Amino acid sequence: MIKIDFNDLLDNYNTNLLDNLRGFGSEEEYLKFYVPGTSSIKCFFNLIDALIEAQQLEFLIYYKNDSFDKKFYDEVIFFLKKLSTSEEKTNENCVNLKIKIDKNLYKNFQEQKQYEIKEIDPIKINVNKIDTKNEVLVFKSKKKLNQPYLDDIHKVKTNNYFSKKKINHENLFIGKIDEFNLNFVIENRIIIKVSHDCENDKTVKKLIDIFFDICINKNIQEAAEHTVIYLEEKIRITNNELIKPGIILPSHAGTYFDDLNYIIRKVFNEFTSKNSAKFGINKNYFKKSYHWVNLTEEAKIEKINFILKEIIQKYNLAHQSIIVQSIDSNFKVNLGVDKDFKNLQLKKNMLLEIEIKLKKLDDTLEVFVDEVLDRNKLRLKNSPQTKLLN
């Protein structure tokens, strides 16, 4: 039976999500469906929903006796009576709730909840109780390019898209940043050609070249939705001190990012309108490169091991602390790690750092991990121990 420390879940959600969801064990499958709530009781309700979604119907949840007030306790017990049979054991330090979900009760509870929502009469809602704001403040940089990006932009290697040649094409779309023109040629929804006329401003030229490197040969919808996000990250990861988890909004990096975001989305809208094109859910994420897919098994492992060796040396880990266990479908890199690595992961986001480095080999690569307890099993023989599944 799965046992969950509710205090630990609330305190360490981000760490647990990273370690468990990406491979540490199967018991934490519910973390895929769990989202913290705005209050402790809401977090508890969401946890129950997540467990049921993960097909976990019997489990034990425990928390420190002095962590929550009586109101929390009463609401939990009242809630559990509606959809489960539960057994409570309380001592001086801890409240233990052994819970068995009744599927029929849960179904009725969900239906009743939906019914109550539908029955609310909007006219009777007291609008004075609604938390309203006249405006939402969004941070926007006052600089065209913030200093860290200005310092690191020239470290990025890129192609040169400067050209004075005039382009004649029925699906030519033009945007402008400062006084410079950005040209996009689109065929069958794919950006097949790009160019610009920025020659003397080295920083802006570099920024546009990196931007074009990312969006060339991409579906216009994918380019409109993600190119500027990838652009910000590509410049940021050249500086190890700036590596942070998550996505940085373009507005935080400088107004040039907002300008480019506006340009590519305007091109997308103009293309859609001109060609009466209809786009659904964007399924045009990075595809595995021809070069990566066609590497031999040994070559793939060698390239990944070279990166892992850098990590091992950087953090003074044992040689067997990280190994490649398998590469599934050419993108899912399964790593075996020991306790030393896992302990270090609690202090620093090692997995993110490894994945960022691996994406330099191919944009689709993702890292998953399993803790390996027996170090003898980590020893590699002369030939690779890794299997590749196509």
One domain, residues 249 and 309: no
**Residue 333 included in any domain:** yes
pLDDT on residue 123: 45
- 350: helix, coil or strand? helix
pLDDT of residue 313: 92
Q: Is the pTM of this model over 0.75?
A: no
Same domain for 158 and 270, yes or no, is: yes
Does residue 142 lie in a domain region? no
Q: Is 92 helix (H, G, I), strand (E, B) or coil?
A: coil
**102 with 83: CB under 8 angstroms?**
yes
Q: Is 260 exposed, middle or buried (0-12, 13-18, 19+ CB in 10 A)?
A: buried
What would the two tokens of residue 273 be?
């309108």
* 362 close to 299: Cβ distance less than 8 angstroms: no
Within 10 Å of residue 374's Cβ, how many Cβ atoms?
7
Q: What angle do CA 354, 12, 355 make, to 5 degrees?
A: 10
Does 294 share its domain with 271? Answer: no
What's 376's domain CATH number? Answer: 3.30.300
Strands 322-328 and 332-337: antiparallel
Instruction: Please tell me the distance from the alpha carbon of residue 28 to that of residue 16, in angstroms, as a whole number.
Output: 9
Question: What is the predicted pLDDT for the residue at 269?
Answer: 94
pLDDT for the residue numbered 213: 93
259 falls within a domain = yes
The CATH number given to whatever domain includes residue 265 is 3.90.1010
CA atoms within 13 A on the CB side of 152: 18
- The pLDDT, as a whole number, for residue 31 is 73
Q: Are residues 270 and 300 in the same domain?
A: no
Domain that residue 23 falls in: 2-122
- Which of the listed residues 275, 308, 324 is the one where a domain comes to its end? 275
Number of structural domains, the chain?
Answer: 3
pLDDT recorded at residue 197: 95
Does residue 171 belong to any structural domain of this protein?
Answer: yes
Q: Which of 246, 275, 304 is the last residue of a domain?
A: 275
Are 260 and 170 contained in the same domain?
yes
In a domain, 138, yes or no: no
Report yes or no on 283 lying in a domain. no
> Which strand (E) or helix (H) includes residue 90?
strand 84-90
Q: Is residue 239 part of a domain?
A: yes
Instruction: Please identify, among 275, 306, 340, the residue that sits at the C-terminal boundary of a domain.
Output: 275
Q: Are residues 268 and 159 in the same domain?
A: yes
Start-to-end CA distance of the chain, whole Å, equals 35
Residues 106 and 151 in one domain: no
Same domain? For 269 and 228 the reply is yes
| Nearest Cα to Cα of residue 36 among 28, 45, 23, 27 | 45
Sheet of strand 322-328: strand arrangement: 366-371, 332-337, 322-328, 387-389
User: Does residue 295 sit in the same domain as residue 195?
Assistant: no
pLDDT of residue 204: 95
Length of the chain: 390
Note whether 153 and 265 are same-domain residues: yes
- Tell me, yes or no, whether 96 lies in a domain: yes
User: Could you read off the pLDDT tens digit of each residue along the chain, which spans 390 residues?
Assistant: 888 888 888 776 544 544 444 443 445 677 777 777 778 888 898 889 888 888 889 999 999 888 888 888 889 988 898 888 888 888 878 999 999 999 888 888 877 766 554 554 444 445 455 455 556 555 566 788 888 888 889 889 999 999 999 899 999 999 999 999 999 999 999 999 999 999 999 999 999 999 999 999 889 998 998 889 888 888 887 776 655 555 567 777 889 999 999 999 999 999 999 999 888 766 566 666 778 888 888 899 999 999 999 999 999 999 888 999 888 877 888 898 888 888 888 888 888 888 888 888 887 888 888 655 444 444 433 334 444 444
Sign of CA dihedral 312, 319, 362, 342: negative
pLDDT reported for residue 284: 61
**Whether residue 379 sits in one domain with residue 306:** yes
Answer yes or no: do 269 and 297 share one domain.
Answer: no
What gap in Å lies between CA 308 and CA 326, rounded to an integer? 14
DSSP element (H, E) containing 196: strand 190-196
- In the numeric block, which tokens belong to residue 243? 């590596």
